[in-house]
Structure 1
Amino acid sequence: MHATIQSQTRADDAFDCLQTAIVKGDLAPGEKIGEIELCARFNLTRGPLREALGRLESRGLLVRRPHAGVKVVSVSADELIELYHIRETMEGLAARQAAERMTDAEIADLYATLDSHETMIEQAHGQAYYQGEGDYDFHHRIATGSRNAKLAQMLLGDLYYMVRMYRYRLSTSAGRPHKALGEHRRIVEAIAQRDGELAEFLMRRHINAARKNIEQKIREGVLDI
């Protein structure tokens, strides 16, 4: 029993390590990966690595092709823009419903989360805005706070993990981390005021701004997709 627990923990560590590498771009979209190289690069062992790769594949972050091996998932520029159009509509609705349904305690906790994000941005000297997944992720908290199970299911499935890959890369623009945090704070203020219409408007504007940032980076050749 003890050995099983240890093995599971190593697999969890391997999964966290590789997922973070994908989100941060250390394993780039479209990059072909092999077990031997990953073990050496990230100091992993084969058993936990294989379990981690299976979990990443189930999340849509890795794709396995016959005779081509395993690659980090990638999307075209047009597909990425489409994803952001989808997010704008769906997360706008989530913010509106979160304003109507989140408890005061949840909103207070959301404020505390943003305070921790501010500390992280300062530690990164304003150069990046990395959010861990789940409760540490602002967008994840809004989706679950909507109390709309179907909406949360759609937002937090493959779409969520795919978008996280690009959200971090886009957060490294000069000035973007502090600006994004300010936009997050204004959304939470609208939610705290129980103003669903304003919360939806601010969320849609926030994601729209991110999409325009993507389009600009693609035009400038800064974002290679």
Structure 2
Amino acid sequence: MHSAYEVQLTGPSPVTSADRVLRAIQQAIVEGDISPGSKISETGLAKQFNVSRAPLREALARLERCHLVQRIPNAGARVVTLTREGLLALYQIREELEGLACRLAAERMADSEIEALARLLDDHLHQQRVREGESYYQEAGDVDFHYRIILASKNPYLINMLCDELYFLVRMYRVQLGMNGPRVSHAFDEHKAIINAIANRDGELADLLMRRHISASRKNIERKLATQKELL
């Protein structure tokens, strides 16, 4: 079973207006082009993305389901705000579920899938910004190391929670706060260790390494959030 977002991210281009505007707004929110906490203007977005209100409202409803947009009583819809409290709650779930995904991947991945995942990391390493420790930006979907491992768990409920419900909110924290600076080389080395554990079919170690990796990423993002707060 494939995630709905896997089809959207890696398959043919979306064909409906709602699909098209969903992808565009998702990317804009994840990358910060639409600022965290900003008010959603249906009129403004409809004009910006050249769609009618009906498909826009459908897209906004789907953005609510993946936690990028929230409706606040008497205040309308807003882009989610990136906070320490939100990060802790999200990464607590992420650490548990991706650890489990790693354990299952070690049991269930075909050798060819593991080799493909190793090649993906080699591709990441050969990007100039990764080699120099400048940033470690991974596109969404099949070129995202974490996404590949989640799919490799072959557990449809786990895939639904991590790839449909939480994926883009996690990416929002990762892209805006976690993919540059000294953390880059450490994150890459941790990915390599996780692949080695999966290749050795050591599910317990793969689970542990993924949990430690996500915990380290959370602490890195926490520090950046604290720095932002001090500058305000």
When normalised by structure 2's length, the TM-score is: 0.78
Alignment-mate amino acid for residue 139 of structure 1: H
CA contact (8 A) 2:106 2:198 kept: yes
Which amino acid in the other structure matches residue 92 of structure 2? H
Q: Which deviates more from structure 2 when the two are superposed, residues 89-98 or residues 60-69?
A: 60-69
Give the match for residue 107 of structure 2.
100
Are positions 1:143 and 2:150 aligned together? yes
Q: Give distance in 1, aligned partners of 2:220 and 2:230.
A: 10
Shift, 1:84, TM fit: 1.4
Distance 1:76 1:38 in 2: 25
Corresponding residue for residue 188 of structure 1: 195
Q: Give the CA deviation at 1:203.
A: 0.7
Q: CA offset at residue 51 of structure 1?
A: 4.6
- 1:22 matches 2:22: no
Query: In structure 2, what is the equivalent of residue 71 of structure 1?
Result: 78
1:46 is paired with a residue of what secondary structure?
A: coil
Give the structure 1 partner of residue 9 of structure 2. Answer: none
**Map of 1:159-170 to 2, 5 A cutoff?**
159-170=166-177
The gaps in structure 2 that reach 5 residues or longer are 1-12
Percent identity over the alignment is 48
Query: Could you say which residue in structure 1 is the equivalent of 2:6?
Result: none
AA in 2 matched with 1:160: Y
1:206 to 199, 210, 213: 213
Q: What are the ranges of 5 or more consecutive residues in structure 1 without an aligned counterpart?
A: 1-5
Q: Which secondary structure does the structure 2 equivalent of 1:100 belong to? A: helix
1:221 aligns to what SS in structure 2?
helix
Cα displacement (A) at 1:159? 2.4
The count of aligned residue pairs is 218
Of 180-189 and 71-80, more deviation after overlay is shown by 71-80
The residue type equivalent to 2:88 in the other structure is I
Distance 2:60 2:127 in 1: 28
1:98, CA displacement in angstroms? Answer: 0.7
Deviations 1:38-75 (A, max 9, x none): 356xx520236455334323322112345533211235
User: RMSD over aligned Cα, in angstroms?
Assistant: 3.0
1:45 match: 50
Q: CA contact under 8 A between 1:32 and 1:71: conserved in structure 2?
A: yes
Summarize deviations over 1:201-222 as a string: whole Å, max 9, x none. 2111101111221232233336
Shift of 1:125: 6.3
Note if contact 2:69-2:77 (Cα within 8 Å) is conserved in structure 1: yes
Q: Which residue of 2 aligns with 1:91?
A: 98
Residue 155 of structure 1: aligned partner: 162
Q: In 2, distance between residues paired with 1:82 and 1:121?
A: 34
Question: TM (normalized to structure 1)?
Answer: 0.81
- Decide whether the 8 Å contact of 1:214 with 1:223 is kept in 2: no
Q: Which moved more, 1:185-194 or 1:148-157?
A: 148-157
Deviations 1:11-40 (A, max 9, x none): 544322221111112222211121343356
